[in-house]
Amino acid sequence: MLRLALTGAGGFLGWHVRVLLRALRWPDPVVVTRADLADPAMVADKVSGVDRVLHLAGVNRDDDPAKVTAGNVRLARRLAEGLRAAAVPPGSVVFANSVQAGNGTPYGDGKAAAAGVLADTGLPLDDVLLPNLYGEHGRPWYNSVVATFCRVLAEGGRPAVHQDRQLDLVHVTDAAARLIGLPAANSWDPALPALRIGVRDLADRLTEMVTVYRVGDIPSLPDRHHVRLFNTYRSHCFPAHYPLPLTRRVDARGELVETVRAHGGAGQTFCSTTNPGITRGEHFHLAKVERFVVLRGSAEISLRRVGDHDVVRFPVSGDEPVVVDMPTMWVHNIANTGAGELVTLFWTNELFDPDRPDTWPEPVEAIRPEPLAVAV
């Protein structure tokens, strides 16, 4: 278990690094803010004695291309000053670089120059060339075309493809695992398995998923990238698009409710009873899709994004069955709020594997003093 320091903690990649650390129960990293980077003495104090410094802060876009290059170099220089001044030098530096480094663009040139600045500190440098990253809670029109397409679709629009080209897409949790130095396990793979796809095909794939999901069906999820694209889309829907209503069919024989219509891929359904006053759950998932449907009794489903303070609550009842799909990286639980027994149906997109459960304990009501802010 390493002690880490982190720049760019509030950004897209930084938030996912911190979520993964939370899942692993590692200590919260030392956060080096952009304000800290203006003061070499502050940086030196914060990074002194840590095992590894992850430099994630950067400038992706600006109306002035020159500011993109200069911004990335400036951040690296300020960090380097602090690293040199640390009383106890960090064990190593990990730089979230880009496959675009040195490609002649303002961004690529800035990232390449920043790597050179960090190498000149003399500390061991792990220069990680990351491809296009996508994942939950990415900032549209900034972090990824996936985030942009997902936000447009979530708002009822259609993605516009202005230029078709091939992309290599890597899920951000895999990138976080690579930067932290984890072996492959559970739902992450530091080997950075990429989805090779054209922009137009990406728009079509997401649109097809959304068309199926808008009526409450689960789209075909045959592999890890289909699952992660679906989870990314769902992050742009929550909580405004939930709960999803279900149709009850009633006749003299009783009632029928279709709770899950899955169009392909693995899946597991199970049912539980919960006594009055009892709460189930208190965990989050990094990749697993999980659906809750209350069939009898009344309950409250509560969710909190990992690191945030605000709790989203859905009162639900078997008298009017609805679907609430748990978004990944949100802690969730379900509490029996009625006087009688609660009957709940659960569905997940994968068979339960006790060696790779992708279930990370944390109470919904837990409040940490420092939220894991992320731009959205």
Residues 6+ apart with CB under 8 A from 72: 58, 59, 107, 110, 111, 113, 114
pLDDT score, position 368: 55
Residue type, 136: E
The residue among 255, 178, 279, 194 whose CA lies nearest residue 229 is 194
CATH number at 4-206: 3.40.50.720
What's residue 117's pLDDT? 98
CATH 2.60.120.10 residue ranges of the chain are 244-361
Task: Give every strand in the sheet of 322-326, ordered side by side.
Answer: 244-245, 322-326, 290-296, 342-348, 268-274
Closest CA to 293 of 323, 317, 267: 323
How would you list the strands of the sheet with 330-336, edge to edge?
312-317, 298-305, 330-336, 279-284, 360-361
The pLDDT value given to residue 60? 84
Over the chain (376 residues), the average pLDDT of each successive run of 10 is 95 97 96 96 98 95 88 97 98 97 95 98 98 97 95 97 96 98 95 98 98 97 97 98 92 93 96 98 98 98 96 97 98 98 98 94 76 49
Strand partners, 94: 54, 126
> Strands 330-336 and 298-305: what pairing?
antiparallel
Answer CATH for 244-361 from 2.60.120.10, 3.60.21.10, 2.40.30.10, 3.30.60.50: 2.60.120.10
Give the pLDDT of residue 50.
98
Regarding pTM above 0.85, the answer is yes
Question: In the chain, which residues fall in CATH 3.40.50.720?
Answer: 4-206
Contact 66/106 with Cβ under 8 angstroms? yes
Cα–Cα distance for residue pair 60/14, rounded to 1 Å: 14
* C-alpha to C-alpha distance for 141 and 149, rounded to whole angstroms: 9
Q: Are 171 and 133 in contact (CB under 8 A)?
A: yes
pLDDT of the residue at 315: 98
